[in-house]
């Protein structure tokens, strides 16, 4: 999810760019961006193993307080400081290790905790970070996130968090960098009685307190990225079903506002359909141990791990609209399909640096057309992904700037999807392609990765050197252009607008027959009987007839 409305309305374009400006429109980066976006010396010496986030939420005051106990393993010679991120105006009130309060030096959103005792490589340690404050209120969740403090139609609190890009440190203290994930996590949330909190993983315990509050303890037994952690509080009812999946029984649970129970029972039939299609293409759902949940929220939606949030108003498409303009986009609820697709690409395979976020959004946007492929066939899915090309801006490369928490272009969605659709044509074997998509999910199971790792995997398993292919589509805004001329029974052709060495073969129709051309930067010629020449629409390229 994110930055997604960019192409669809001028008004939204302006407001989205405003929020994007914080993250990706920048030419210059600050020291704070480096502290946030790089693996600093104060981060690299310790590896996260476990968080216990334990907080109380007071909706009337819009105030939160509590602590995060961070467990970690010392993996290299310790720095004298440990960096913990928490964005202002939230405040760390104290940091405690081995019963002693430690000194905290604050530098903007980074907190440097002085570690007074010698720690040895291999040690497992914990530190308690106590904090409180009035967290940033989401201005336009999920793009400009934080806490959404809303009410349902009965006047009851309806609260949710969203923080992709902005970072989880907007509401809780953590090591706010994508490269390092905890192995498991406990989320304990205290809220007023009469409201239900749904977080990630499984509800381990629900405790009624004496002061008109309840505490829910949610346990996540798999690695989870920080922005995936969420709190959703409302007057929820729930229903569930068991999905017979590749790894056995998977319980799928749905939490919705009371008034939407009936419509949700019908509308959420897309969820098991999604699971079936995506297990086919990508392999087993990566979080059986934590169940799958869809949770209604007062904003559009987000890929929160094992508790995907939903706010698409029970409509088909994207709030009732078809992003491809072909009609196929109205065959499914965009938020259910897209956000759940992220369970494989974003939550299972996670980028180490958000400059590589195309790994999340490119593959997940591509998953929309694989869903269509599964139920409506190859032509329908091709129509859809090709239709989404109208949304591509070619403003900036898909890969952003490394080490400063910077995303690439919003083209990571549909240019990313069309790049993968093009790659499928090059593989020319759908079963092999499917095994590669499944292979990515087992090779990089529960890992954080770089673009290079994904490129190498795809090159190796396709048997094609894709170096220039990825250089072209990920690192430039140039669309390869097939330039050609037909004269006196001869076809002359070459690639232009390409990176050095780009020589992607392409399928064309010549004289009514489909065949491969192998264009290079230099002109080549071929005999042709008539002037009937067409380029296969599945390739995301331009053409120029001279």
| Nearer to Zn ion (CB atom), residue 1 or residue 178 | 1
CB of 96 to Zn ion, least distance (A): 38
Q: Which two tokens stand for residue 328?
A: 């196929």
| CA–CA gap between residue 324 and residue 330 (Å, rounded) | 9
CB of 193 to Zn ion, least distance (A): 35
Q: Which residue is nearest to Zn ion (CB)?
A: 1
Contact 147, 136 (CB under 8 A): yes
| CA–CA gap between residue 510 and residue 492 (Å, rounded) | 13
CB of 303 to Zn ion, least distance (A): 6
| Nearer to Zn ion (CB atom), residue 20 or residue 213 | 20
Cis peptide before 109 (omega within 30 of 0): no
**Of residues 485, 488, 537, 491, the one with CA closest to residue 510:** 491
Sequence-ordered list of residues with C-beta below 8 angstroms from that of 339, at least 6 positions apart, any chain: 1, 301, 302, 303, 308, 309, 310
Beta bridge partners of 82: 113
**Dihedral angle sign, alpha carbons of residues 18, 19, 25, 31:** positive
CB of 163 to Zn ion, least distance (A): 14
CB of 477 to Zn ion, least distance (A): 21
CB of 538 to Zn ion, least distance (A): 23
| Nearer to Zn ion (CB atom), residue 115 or residue 340 | 340
| Nearer to Zn ion (CB atom), residue 97 or residue 364 | 364
| Nearer to Zn ion (CB atom), residue 340 or residue 458 | 340
CB of 332 to Zn ion, least distance (A): 15
Q: DSSP letter for 330, please.
A: G
| Nearer to Zn ion (CB atom), residue 82 or residue 300 | 300
Q: Which two tokens stand for residue 229?
A: 């952690």
| Nearer to Zn ion (CB atom), residue 440 or residue 541 | 440
Would you give the distance in Å from CA 168 to the centre of its chain?
14
Compute the half-sphere exposure of residue 14: CA atoms within 13 Å on the CB side of its CA. 2
| Nearer to Zn ion (CB atom), residue 78 or residue 142 | 142
**Dihedral angle sign, alpha carbons of residues 39, 42, 48, 51:** negative
| Nearer to Zn ion (CB atom), residue 1 or residue 35 | 1
| Nearer to Zn ion (CB atom), residue 158 or residue 366 | 366
CB of 362 to Zn ion, least distance (A): 10
Would you give the distance in Å from CA 352 to the centre of its chain?
12
Q: DSSP letter for 479, please.
A: P
Beta bridge partners of 484: 493, 545
CB of 364 to Zn ion, least distance (A): 5
Beta bridge partners of 448: 350
Q: Where are the beta strands (DSSP E) in 15-62?
A: 46-58
Dihedral class, residue 325 (left if φ above 0, else alpha if ψ from -120 to 50, else beta) = left
CB of 457 to Zn ion, least distance (A): 21
Would you give the distance in Å from CA 363 to the centre of its chain?
9
Burial of 14 (0-12, 13-18, 19+ CB in 10 A): exposed
| CA–CA gap between residue 358 and residue 333 (Å, rounded) | 22
Residues that bind Zn ion (CB under 5 A): 1, 361, 364
Q: Which two tokens stand for residue 483?
A: 């330039």
| Nearer to Zn ion (CB atom), residue 51 or residue 281 | 281
| CA–CA gap between residue 169 and residue 164 (Å, rounded) | 10
| Nearer to Zn ion (CB atom), residue 361 or residue 407 | 361
| Nearer to Zn ion (CB atom), residue 176 or residue 407 | 407
CB of 313 to Zn ion, least distance (A): 18
Q: DSSP letter for 143, please.
A: T
Q: How many CB atoms lie within 10 A of CB 80?
A: 12
| CA–CA gap between residue 291 and residue 285 (Å, rounded) | 9
Compute the half-sphere exposure of residue 454: CA atoms within 13 Å on the CB side of its CA. 26
CB of 388 to Zn ion, least distance (A): 13
CB of 361 to Zn ion, least distance (A): 5
Contact 412, 531 (CB under 8 A): no
CB of 292 to Zn ion, least distance (A): 17
SS3 label, residue 49: strand
| Nearer to Zn ion (CB atom), residue 1 or residue 399 | 1
Which contiguous run of DSSP H or E holds residue 133? strand 124-133
């Amino acid at each position: 999810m994110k930055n997604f409305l960019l192409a669809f309305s001028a008004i939204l374009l302006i407001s989205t760019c405003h929020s994007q400006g914080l993250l990706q429109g920048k030419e210059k980066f600050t020291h704070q961006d480096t502290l946030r976006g790089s693996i600093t010396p104060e981060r690299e010496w310790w590896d996260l193993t476990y968080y216990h986030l334990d907080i109380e939420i007071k909706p009337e005051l819009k105030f939160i307080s509590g602590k995060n106990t961070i467990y970690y393993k010392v993996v290299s010679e310790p720095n004298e400081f440990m960096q913990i991120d928490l964005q202002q105006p939230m405040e760390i009130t104290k940091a405690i290790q081995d019963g002693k309060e430690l000194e905290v030096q604050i530098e903007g959103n980074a907190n440097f905790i002085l570690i007074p005792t010698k720690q040895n490589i291999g040690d497992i340690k914990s530190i308690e970070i106590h904090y409180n404050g009035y967290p940033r209120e989401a201005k336009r969740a999920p793009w400009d996130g934080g806490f959404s403090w809303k009410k349902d139609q009965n006047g009851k609190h309806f609260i949710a968090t969203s923080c992709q890009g902005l970072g989880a440190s907007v509401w809780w203290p953590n090591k706010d960098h994508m490269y390092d994930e905890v192995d498991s996590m406990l989320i304990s949330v205290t809220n007023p009685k009469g409201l239900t909190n749904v977080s990630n993983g499984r509800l381990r315990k629900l405790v009624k307190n004496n002061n008109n509050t309840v505490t829910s303890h949610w346990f996540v037994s798999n690695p989870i990225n920080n922005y995936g952690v969420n709190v959703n509080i409302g007057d929820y009812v729930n229903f569930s079903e068991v999905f017979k999946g590749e790894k056995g029984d998977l319980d799928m649970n749905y939490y919705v506002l009371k008034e939407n129970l009936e419509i949700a029972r019908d509308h959420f039939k897309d969820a098991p359909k999604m699971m079936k299609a995506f297990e086919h293409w990508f392999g087993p759902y990566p979080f059986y141990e934590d169940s799958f949940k869809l949770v209604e929220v007062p904003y559009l939606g987000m890929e929160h791990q094992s508790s995907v949030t939903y706010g698409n108003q029970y409509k088909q498409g994207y709030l009732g609209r078809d992003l491809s303009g072909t009609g196929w986009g109205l065959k499914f609820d965009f938020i259910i399909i897209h956000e759940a697709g992220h369970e494989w690409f974003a939550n299972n395979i996670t980028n180490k640096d958000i400059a590589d976020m195309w790994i999340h959004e490119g593959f997940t946007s591509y998953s929309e057309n694989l869903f269509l492929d599964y139920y409506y066939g190859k032509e329908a899915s091709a129509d859809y992904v090709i239709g989404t090309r109208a949304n591509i801006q070619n403003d900036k490369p898909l890969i952003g700037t490394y080490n400063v928490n910077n995303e690439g272009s919003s083209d990571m969605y549909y240019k990313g999807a069309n790049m993968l659709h093009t790659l499928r044509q090059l593989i020319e074997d759908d079963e092999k392609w499917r095994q590669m998509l499944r292979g990515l999910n087992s090779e990089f199971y529960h890992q954080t990765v770089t673009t290079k790792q994904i490129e190498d995997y795809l090159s190796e398993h396709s048997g094609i050197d894709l170096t220039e292919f990825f250089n072209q589509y990920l690192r430039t805004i140039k669309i390869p252009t097939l330039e050609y001329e037909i004269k006196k029974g001869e076809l002359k052709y070459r690639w232009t607008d390409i990176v050095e060495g780009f020589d992607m073969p392409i399928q064309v129709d010549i004289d009514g027959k489909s065949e491969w051309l192998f264009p290079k930067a230099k002109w080549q010629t071929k005999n042709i009987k008539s002037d009937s020449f067409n380029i296969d629409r599945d390739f995301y390229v331009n053409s120029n007839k001279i």
